[in-house]
Structure 1
Amino acid sequence: MEQITTKVLLAEDEPALGMIVSESLDSRGFDVDHFENGKLALEAFEKNDYDILVLDVMMPEMDGFTVAKNVRQLNDEVPIIFLTAKSQTDDVLEGFHVGGNDYLKKPFSMEELIVRIKNLLTRQNIQKTASHYKIGNYDFNFPKQELKIDDEIIKLTHRESHLLYHLVLKMNKVLDRTYILKKLWGDDDFFSGRSMDVFITKLRKKLAKDENIEIVNVRGFGYKLIVGE
Protein backbone atom coordinates (compact mmCIF):
# COMPACT_ATOMS: atom_id res chain seq x y z
CA MET A 1 0.00 0.00 0.00
CA GLU A 2 1.33 3.41 -0.94
CA GLN A 3 2.18 5.55 2.08
CA ILE A 4 0.36 8.87 2.31
CA THR A 5 2.76 11.77 2.89
CA THR A 6 1.75 14.91 4.75
CA LYS A 7 2.41 17.95 2.56
CA VAL A 8 3.59 21.06 4.42
CA LEU A 9 3.80 24.62 3.11
CA LEU A 10 6.52 26.47 5.03
CA ALA A 11 6.90 30.24 4.67
CA GLU A 12 9.98 31.52 6.48
CA ASP A 13 12.17 34.38 5.22
CA GLU A 14 15.23 33.53 7.31
CA PRO A 15 17.16 31.09 5.04
CA ALA A 16 19.01 29.26 7.83
CA LEU A 17 15.91 28.67 9.93
CA GLY A 18 13.90 27.70 6.88
CA MET A 19 16.50 25.12 5.92
CA ILE A 20 16.63 23.67 9.44
CA VAL A 21 12.85 23.36 9.66
CA SER A 22 12.58 21.90 6.16
CA GLU A 23 15.31 19.30 6.72
CA SER A 24 13.94 18.36 10.14
CA LEU A 25 10.43 17.83 8.78
CA ASP A 26 11.78 15.97 5.73
CA SER A 27 13.65 13.60 8.04
CA ARG A 28 10.34 12.82 9.80
CA GLY A 29 8.60 11.89 6.57
CA PHE A 30 6.89 15.19 5.77
CA ASP A 31 6.93 16.63 2.23
CA VAL A 32 7.92 20.30 2.62
CA ASP A 33 7.75 23.21 0.19
CA HIS A 34 9.71 26.18 1.58
CA PHE A 35 9.23 29.77 0.42
CA GLU A 36 11.07 32.85 1.64
CA ASN A 37 8.26 35.36 1.27
CA GLY A 38 4.51 35.41 1.70
CA LYS A 39 3.70 36.22 -1.90
CA LEU A 40 5.40 33.10 -3.23
CA ALA A 41 3.81 31.02 -0.48
CA LEU A 42 0.30 32.19 -1.38
CA GLU A 43 0.91 31.57 -5.09
CA ALA A 44 2.01 28.02 -4.26
CA PHE A 45 -1.06 27.44 -2.10
CA GLU A 46 -3.33 28.52 -4.94
CA LYS A 47 -1.75 25.94 -7.24
CA ASN A 48 -1.18 22.97 -4.92
CA ASP A 49 -2.87 20.98 -2.17
CA TYR A 50 -1.31 21.21 1.30
CA ASP A 51 -2.25 19.44 4.52
CA ILE A 52 -0.92 22.17 6.82
CA LEU A 53 0.68 25.64 6.61
CA VAL A 54 3.52 26.92 8.81
CA LEU A 55 3.78 30.69 8.33
CA ASP A 56 6.28 33.15 9.71
CA VAL A 57 4.50 36.37 10.69
CA MET A 58 7.11 38.91 9.59
CA MET A 59 8.04 38.34 5.94
CA PRO A 60 8.82 40.49 2.88
CA GLU A 61 6.32 40.94 0.03
CA MET A 62 3.42 39.68 2.18
CA ASP A 63 3.30 38.98 5.94
CA GLY A 64 1.95 35.77 7.43
CA PHE A 65 -1.32 37.31 8.62
CA THR A 66 -2.11 38.54 5.10
CA VAL A 67 -1.26 35.14 3.65
CA ALA A 68 -3.64 33.51 6.15
CA LYS A 69 -6.47 35.94 5.32
CA ASN A 70 -6.15 35.06 1.63
CA VAL A 71 -5.92 31.34 2.37
CA ARG A 72 -9.10 31.45 4.45
CA GLN A 73 -10.99 32.92 1.50
CA LEU A 74 -10.10 29.76 -0.40
CA ASN A 75 -10.05 27.11 2.32
CA ASP A 76 -11.63 27.11 5.79
CA GLU A 77 -10.17 23.82 6.92
CA VAL A 78 -6.42 23.64 6.29
CA PRO A 79 -4.60 24.10 9.64
CA ILE A 80 -2.31 27.12 10.01
CA ILE A 81 0.52 27.53 12.52
CA PHE A 82 2.17 30.93 12.93
CA LEU A 83 5.85 31.31 13.77
CA THR A 84 6.37 34.60 15.55
CA ALA A 85 9.04 36.53 17.37
CA LYS A 86 6.28 38.75 18.70
CA SER A 87 4.96 38.12 22.19
CA GLN A 88 2.37 40.84 22.58
CA THR A 89 -1.16 39.63 23.22
CA ASP A 90 -2.65 41.67 20.38
CA ASP A 91 -0.31 40.08 17.85
CA VAL A 92 -1.23 36.56 18.95
CA LEU A 93 -4.94 37.37 18.96
CA GLU A 94 -4.62 38.83 15.46
CA GLY A 95 -3.30 35.46 14.35
CA PHE A 96 -6.42 33.70 15.63
CA HIS A 97 -8.72 36.32 14.15
CA VAL A 98 -7.32 35.85 10.64
CA GLY A 99 -7.84 32.11 10.83
CA GLY A 100 -4.76 30.68 12.54
CA ASN A 101 -5.08 27.49 14.56
CA ASP A 102 -1.90 27.70 16.62
CA TYR A 103 1.24 29.75 17.11
CA LEU A 104 4.81 29.08 18.16
CA LYS A 105 7.16 31.72 19.53
CA LYS A 106 10.75 31.88 18.37
CA PRO A 107 13.08 30.37 19.34
CA PHE A 108 11.33 27.00 19.38
CA SER A 109 12.38 23.36 19.37
CA MET A 110 11.70 21.22 16.32
CA GLU A 111 10.15 18.59 18.57
CA GLU A 112 7.54 21.09 19.74
CA LEU A 113 6.73 22.14 16.17
CA ILE A 114 6.33 18.53 15.08
CA VAL A 115 4.06 17.74 18.05
CA ARG A 116 1.87 20.75 17.25
CA ILE A 117 1.66 19.80 13.58
CA LYS A 118 0.63 16.24 14.44
CA ASN A 119 -1.93 17.44 17.00
CA LEU A 120 -3.58 19.80 14.51
CA LEU A 121 -3.71 17.12 11.83
CA THR A 122 -5.22 14.65 14.32
CA ARG A 123 -7.91 17.11 15.43
CA GLN A 124 -8.71 17.92 11.81
CA ASN A 125 -9.36 14.26 11.14
CA ILE A 126 -11.89 13.75 13.94
CA GLN A 127 -14.34 11.20 12.65
CA LYS A 128 -17.69 12.75 11.77
CA THR A 129 -19.88 10.01 13.19
CA ALA A 130 -23.19 11.90 13.13
CA SER A 131 -25.23 13.28 10.30
CA HIS A 132 -28.16 15.59 11.04
CA TYR A 133 -29.19 17.32 14.24
CA LYS A 134 -32.27 19.38 14.92
CA ILE A 135 -31.54 22.67 16.72
CA GLY A 136 -34.81 24.50 17.15
CA ASN A 137 -35.88 25.50 13.63
CA TYR A 138 -32.44 24.72 12.23
CA ASP A 139 -31.21 21.51 10.65
CA PHE A 140 -27.52 20.99 11.37
CA ASN A 141 -25.69 18.82 8.84
CA PHE A 142 -22.40 18.09 10.55
CA PRO A 143 -20.59 16.26 7.70
CA LYS A 144 -21.47 19.02 5.22
CA GLN A 145 -20.79 21.80 7.76
CA GLU A 146 -24.15 23.44 7.08
CA LEU A 147 -27.06 24.96 8.95
CA LYS A 148 -30.41 25.09 7.19
CA ILE A 149 -33.44 27.12 8.22
CA ASP A 150 -36.45 27.34 5.91
CA ASP A 151 -34.84 27.45 2.45
CA GLU A 152 -31.64 29.19 3.56
CA ILE A 153 -28.37 27.29 3.85
CA ILE A 154 -25.69 28.77 6.11
CA LYS A 155 -22.16 27.48 5.64
CA LEU A 156 -20.01 26.75 8.68
CA THR A 157 -16.24 26.64 8.90
CA HIS A 158 -14.49 23.48 10.07
CA ARG A 159 -13.93 24.93 13.55
CA GLU A 160 -17.47 26.34 13.84
CA SER A 161 -18.95 23.00 12.85
CA HIS A 162 -16.98 21.01 15.41
CA LEU A 163 -17.69 23.51 18.18
CA LEU A 164 -21.42 23.44 17.42
CA TYR A 165 -21.31 19.63 17.29
CA HIS A 166 -20.01 19.47 20.86
CA LEU A 167 -22.52 22.07 22.04
CA VAL A 168 -25.32 19.99 20.50
CA LEU A 169 -24.10 16.84 22.24
CA LYS A 170 -24.50 18.73 25.55
CA MET A 171 -27.66 20.61 24.54
CA ASN A 172 -29.23 22.40 27.53
CA LYS A 173 -26.25 21.30 29.63
CA VAL A 174 -22.90 23.00 30.28
CA LEU A 175 -20.10 22.24 27.85
CA ASP A 176 -16.95 22.36 29.95
CA ARG A 177 -14.64 25.15 28.77
CA THR A 178 -11.38 23.36 29.57
CA TYR A 179 -12.52 20.15 27.89
CA ILE A 180 -13.53 21.75 24.60
CA LEU A 181 -10.44 23.98 24.47
CA LYS A 182 -8.16 20.96 24.83
CA LYS A 183 -10.29 18.92 22.43
CA LEU A 184 -10.42 21.44 19.57
CA TRP A 185 -7.60 23.91 20.30
CA GLY A 186 -5.15 21.58 22.00
CA ASP A 187 -4.61 24.00 24.90
CA ASP A 188 -6.71 25.87 27.45
CA ASP A 189 -4.48 28.93 27.70
CA PHE A 190 -5.64 32.55 27.49
CA PHE A 191 -5.11 32.89 23.75
CA SER A 192 -7.00 29.70 22.90
CA GLY A 193 -9.83 30.86 25.15
CA ARG A 194 -10.07 34.19 23.39
CA SER A 195 -10.10 32.40 20.02
CA MET A 196 -12.98 30.18 21.17
CA ASP A 197 -14.93 33.25 22.33
CA VAL A 198 -14.66 34.62 18.79
CA PHE A 199 -16.12 31.41 17.36
CA ILE A 200 -18.94 31.38 19.93
CA THR A 201 -19.89 34.90 18.79
CA LYS A 202 -19.91 33.73 15.16
CA LEU A 203 -22.20 30.79 16.03
CA ARG A 204 -24.59 33.07 17.92
CA LYS A 205 -24.99 35.22 14.81
CA LYS A 206 -25.60 32.21 12.57
CA LEU A 207 -28.26 30.85 14.96
CA ALA A 208 -29.97 34.22 15.45
CA LYS A 209 -32.89 33.47 13.12
CA ASP A 210 -34.52 31.36 15.85
CA GLU A 211 -35.19 33.48 18.94
CA ASN A 212 -35.59 30.35 21.08
CA ILE A 213 -31.92 29.47 20.64
CA GLU A 214 -29.12 31.01 22.66
CA ILE A 215 -25.58 30.16 23.64
CA VAL A 216 -24.97 31.41 27.17
CA ASN A 217 -21.69 31.86 28.98
CA VAL A 218 -21.74 30.02 32.30
CA ARG A 219 -18.99 31.99 33.98
CA GLY A 220 -16.18 29.86 35.32
CA PHE A 221 -17.54 26.65 33.75
CA GLY A 222 -18.18 26.95 30.03
CA TYR A 223 -20.99 27.42 27.54
CA LYS A 224 -24.54 26.12 27.29
CA LEU A 225 -26.58 25.76 24.10
CA ILE A 226 -30.17 26.43 25.22
CA VAL A 227 -33.01 25.50 22.89
CA GLY A 228 -36.47 26.52 24.07
CA GLU A 229 -39.86 25.49 22.79
Structure 2
Amino acid sequence: MAHKIKLLLAEDEAALGQILKESLETRDFEVILCENGDKAFDKYKSEAPEILVLDVMMPKKDGFTLAKEIRAIDDTIPIIFLTAKSQTADVVEGFSIGGNDYLKKPFSIEELIVRVHNLIDRTKTQKTTEIITIGEFTFDLAKQQLKFKDDESIQLTHRESHLLFHLIKTKTKF
Protein backbone atom coordinates (compact mmCIF):
# COMPACT_ATOMS: atom_id res chain seq x y z
CA MET A 1 0.00 0.00 0.00
CA ALA A 2 1.30 3.45 -0.95
CA HIS A 3 2.12 6.08 1.62
CA LYS A 4 -0.86 8.35 2.34
CA ILE A 5 -0.05 12.05 2.40
CA LYS A 6 -1.11 13.55 5.73
CA LEU A 7 -2.88 16.83 4.98
CA LEU A 8 -4.20 19.33 7.50
CA LEU A 9 -7.27 21.11 6.12
CA ALA A 10 -8.50 24.21 7.97
CA GLU A 11 -11.91 25.25 6.60
CA ASP A 12 -14.67 26.91 8.61
CA GLU A 13 -17.49 26.19 6.13
CA ALA A 14 -18.60 22.79 7.44
CA ALA A 15 -20.17 21.53 4.18
CA LEU A 16 -17.18 22.52 2.03
CA GLY A 17 -14.75 21.12 4.58
CA GLN A 18 -16.54 17.76 4.63
CA ILE A 19 -16.74 17.57 0.82
CA LEU A 20 -13.03 18.35 0.49
CA LYS A 21 -12.13 15.87 3.23
CA GLU A 22 -14.11 13.04 1.64
CA SER A 23 -12.85 13.85 -1.87
CA LEU A 24 -9.23 13.87 -0.69
CA GLU A 25 -9.65 10.66 1.33
CA THR A 26 -11.01 8.80 -1.72
CA ARG A 27 -7.75 9.80 -3.43
CA ASP A 28 -5.58 8.26 -0.68
CA PHE A 29 -4.94 11.32 1.48
CA GLU A 30 -5.12 11.21 5.25
CA VAL A 31 -7.06 14.37 6.09
CA ILE A 32 -7.19 16.18 9.42
CA LEU A 33 -10.11 18.63 9.23
CA CYS A 34 -10.32 21.64 11.54
CA GLU A 35 -12.99 24.34 11.55
CA ASN A 36 -10.87 27.20 12.90
CA GLY A 37 -7.29 28.39 13.15
CA ASP A 38 -6.85 27.62 16.85
CA LYS A 39 -7.75 23.95 16.41
CA ALA A 40 -5.64 23.78 13.26
CA PHE A 41 -2.57 25.04 15.13
CA ASP A 42 -3.08 22.44 17.88
CA LYS A 43 -3.50 19.65 15.30
CA TYR A 44 -0.44 20.87 13.40
CA LYS A 45 1.64 20.45 16.57
CA SER A 46 0.17 17.06 17.52
CA GLU A 47 -0.34 15.36 14.13
CA ALA A 48 2.76 16.42 12.10
CA PRO A 49 1.04 16.85 8.72
CA GLU A 50 3.07 16.95 5.48
CA ILE A 51 1.12 19.85 3.97
CA LEU A 52 -1.35 22.52 5.10
CA VAL A 53 -4.42 23.69 3.18
CA LEU A 54 -5.74 26.76 4.97
CA ASP A 55 -8.85 28.84 4.41
CA VAL A 56 -7.93 32.49 4.79
CA MET A 57 -11.13 33.69 6.49
CA MET A 58 -11.79 31.61 9.61
CA PRO A 59 -13.03 32.39 13.11
CA LYS A 60 -10.70 32.59 16.13
CA LYS A 61 -7.58 32.69 13.96
CA ASP A 62 -7.53 33.42 10.23
CA GLY A 63 -5.37 31.47 7.78
CA PHE A 64 -2.77 34.21 7.39
CA THR A 65 -2.23 34.50 11.15
CA LEU A 66 -2.06 30.71 11.44
CA ALA A 67 0.51 30.54 8.64
CA LYS A 68 2.65 33.23 10.31
CA GLU A 69 2.66 31.28 13.58
CA ILE A 70 3.56 28.03 11.83
CA ARG A 71 6.26 29.70 9.70
CA ALA A 72 7.87 30.97 12.92
CA ILE A 73 8.59 27.36 13.90
CA ASP A 74 8.59 25.54 10.53
CA ASP A 75 9.81 27.19 7.37
CA THR A 76 9.61 24.09 5.17
CA ILE A 77 6.05 22.74 5.39
CA PRO A 78 4.11 23.53 2.20
CA ILE A 79 1.11 25.85 2.67
CA ILE A 80 -1.76 26.33 0.23
CA PHE A 81 -4.26 29.09 0.93
CA LEU A 82 -7.92 28.68 -0.06
CA THR A 83 -10.00 31.81 -0.22
CA ALA A 84 -12.77 33.81 -1.79
CA LYS A 85 -10.51 36.86 -1.35
CA SER A 86 -9.05 37.40 -4.78
CA GLN A 87 -7.72 40.94 -4.64
CA THR A 88 -4.09 41.24 -5.70
CA ALA A 89 -3.17 42.62 -2.26
CA ASP A 90 -4.60 39.48 -0.59
CA VAL A 91 -2.68 37.16 -2.90
CA VAL A 92 0.54 39.13 -2.34
CA GLU A 93 0.03 39.00 1.43
CA GLY A 94 -0.48 35.24 1.30
CA PHE A 95 2.76 34.69 -0.58
CA SER A 96 4.72 37.22 1.46
CA ILE A 97 3.92 35.51 4.77
CA GLY A 98 5.18 32.19 3.47
CA GLY A 99 2.38 30.60 1.47
CA ASN A 100 3.52 28.35 -1.36
CA ASP A 101 0.30 28.47 -3.35
CA TYR A 102 -3.00 30.34 -3.40
CA LEU A 103 -6.22 28.85 -4.72
CA LYS A 104 -9.25 31.05 -5.28
CA LYS A 105 -12.76 29.73 -4.56
CA PRO A 106 -14.51 28.20 -6.38
CA PHE A 107 -11.91 25.65 -7.49
CA SER A 108 -11.93 22.05 -8.67
CA ILE A 109 -10.77 19.23 -6.41
CA GLU A 110 -8.54 18.01 -9.25
CA GLU A 111 -6.71 21.35 -9.30
CA LEU A 112 -6.19 21.22 -5.52
CA ILE A 113 -4.85 17.66 -5.73
CA VAL A 114 -2.38 18.53 -8.49
CA ARG A 115 -1.14 21.53 -6.50
CA VAL A 116 -0.76 19.40 -3.35
CA HIS A 117 1.21 16.71 -5.20
CA ASN A 118 3.45 19.31 -6.87
CA LEU A 119 4.30 20.94 -3.55
CA ILE A 120 4.91 17.59 -1.83
CA ASP A 121 7.18 16.47 -4.68
CA ARG A 122 9.11 19.74 -4.58
CA THR A 123 9.53 19.50 -0.81
CA LYS A 124 10.75 15.88 -0.99
CA THR A 125 13.24 16.80 -3.72
CA GLN A 126 14.61 19.64 -1.63
CA LYS A 127 14.92 17.47 1.48
CA THR A 128 16.42 14.38 -0.12
CA THR A 129 18.80 15.92 -2.62
CA GLU A 130 20.48 18.73 -0.76
CA ILE A 131 24.00 17.29 -1.26
CA ILE A 132 24.79 14.74 -3.95
CA THR A 133 28.16 13.04 -4.46
CA ILE A 134 29.16 12.22 -8.04
CA GLY A 135 32.55 10.55 -8.11
CA GLU A 136 34.91 13.15 -6.65
CA PHE A 137 32.39 15.97 -7.12
CA THR A 138 29.93 17.25 -4.54
CA PHE A 139 26.81 19.03 -5.73
CA ASP A 140 24.79 21.12 -3.29
CA LEU A 141 21.40 21.64 -4.93
CA ALA A 142 20.06 24.03 -2.30
CA LYS A 143 23.09 26.34 -2.60
CA GLN A 144 23.53 25.64 -6.33
CA GLN A 145 27.23 24.89 -5.85
CA LEU A 146 29.55 22.29 -7.39
CA LYS A 147 32.79 21.32 -5.68
CA PHE A 148 35.68 19.08 -6.79
CA LYS A 149 37.47 17.29 -3.92
CA ASP A 150 38.63 19.99 -1.51
CA ASP A 151 38.74 22.78 -4.09
CA GLU A 152 36.71 25.94 -3.91
CA SER A 153 33.01 25.65 -4.76
CA ILE A 154 31.78 26.93 -8.09
CA GLN A 155 28.52 28.87 -7.98
CA LEU A 156 26.13 27.59 -10.66
CA THR A 157 23.24 29.45 -12.22
CA HIS A 158 19.71 28.24 -11.56
CA ARG A 159 19.55 26.78 -15.08
CA GLU A 160 22.91 24.98 -14.66
CA SER A 161 21.84 23.54 -11.30
CA HIS A 162 18.51 22.41 -12.69
CA LEU A 163 20.17 20.76 -15.69
CA LEU A 164 22.83 19.05 -13.56
CA PHE A 165 20.22 17.77 -11.12
CA HIS A 166 18.13 16.26 -13.94
CA LEU A 167 21.19 14.66 -15.53
CA ILE A 168 22.12 13.10 -12.17
CA LYS A 169 18.56 11.98 -11.56
CA THR A 170 18.29 10.25 -14.95
CA LYS A 171 21.80 8.76 -15.10
CA THR A 172 20.63 5.47 -13.61
CA LYS A 173 17.86 5.11 -16.18
CA PHE A 174 20.27 4.48 -19.07
Separation of aligned partners in 2, 1:42 and 1:129: 29
Separation of aligned partners in 1, 2:132 and 2:72: 26
Aligned to 2:75: 76
Tell me whether 54-63 or 44-53 shows the greater mean CA deviation: 44-53
Aligned to 1:16: 15
Aligned to 1:204: none
Separation of aligned partners in 1, 2:76 and 2:24: 22
Alignment of 1:53-64 (within 5 A): 53-64=52-63
Structure 2 length normalisation: TM-score? 0.76
Alignment of 1:107-122 (within 5 A): 107-122=106-121
Q: Which amino acid aligns with 2:51?
A: I
Aligned to 1:101: 100
Computed over aligned residues only, the root mean square deviation of the Cα atoms, in angstroms, reads 2.3
Instruction: Give per-residue Cα distances to partners, 1:95-150, cap 9 Å, x unaligned.
Output: 11111100100000000000000000011111415369xxxxxxxx958xxxxxxx
In the alignment, which of 140, 143, 155 is matched to residue 168 of structure 1? 155
What secondary structure does 2:86 align onto? Answer: coil
CA distance 1:165–1:12, shift in 2 (3 Å): same
How much does 1:14 deviate?
Answer: 0.3
Instruction: Give per-residue Cα distances to partners, 1:38-85, cap 9 Å, x unaligned.
Output: 110001111121100000000000000000011111211110000011
Separation of aligned partners in 2, 1:117 and 1:37: 21
Aligned to 2:30: 31
Separation of aligned partners in 1, 2:36 and 2:65: 12
Separation of aligned partners in 1, 2:144 and 2:14: 42
Separation of aligned partners in 2, 1:48 and 1:61: 20
Separation of aligned partners in 2, 1:68 and 1:92: 14
How much does 1:86 deviate?
Answer: 1.0
What secondary structure does 1:120 align onto? Answer: helix
1:88 aligns to 2:90 (yes or no): no
CA distance 1:124–1:168, shift in 2 (3 Å): farther
Structure 1 length normalisation: TM-score? 0.59
How much does 1:165 deviate?
Answer: 2.6
Alignment of 1:34-49 (within 5 A): 34-49=33-48
Contiguous gaps of at least 5 residues in structure 1: 133-140, 144-161, 180-229
Q: Which amino acid aligns with 1:128?
A: T
Q: Which amino acid aligns with 1:114?
A: I
What secondary structure does 1:103 align onto? Answer: strand
In the comparison of the two structures, how many residue pairs are matched? 145
Separation of aligned partners in 2, 1:120 and 1:65: 19
Separation of aligned partners in 1, 2:27 and 2:9: 15
Separation of aligned partners in 2, 1:25 and 1:168: 41
CA distance 1:48–1:168, shift in 2 (3 Å): farther
What secondary structure does 2:131 align onto? Answer: coil
Q: Which amino acid aligns with 2:155?
A: V
Contiguous gaps of at least 5 residues in structure 2: 134-138, 146-153, 163-174
Separation of aligned partners in 2, 1:168 and 1:12: 43
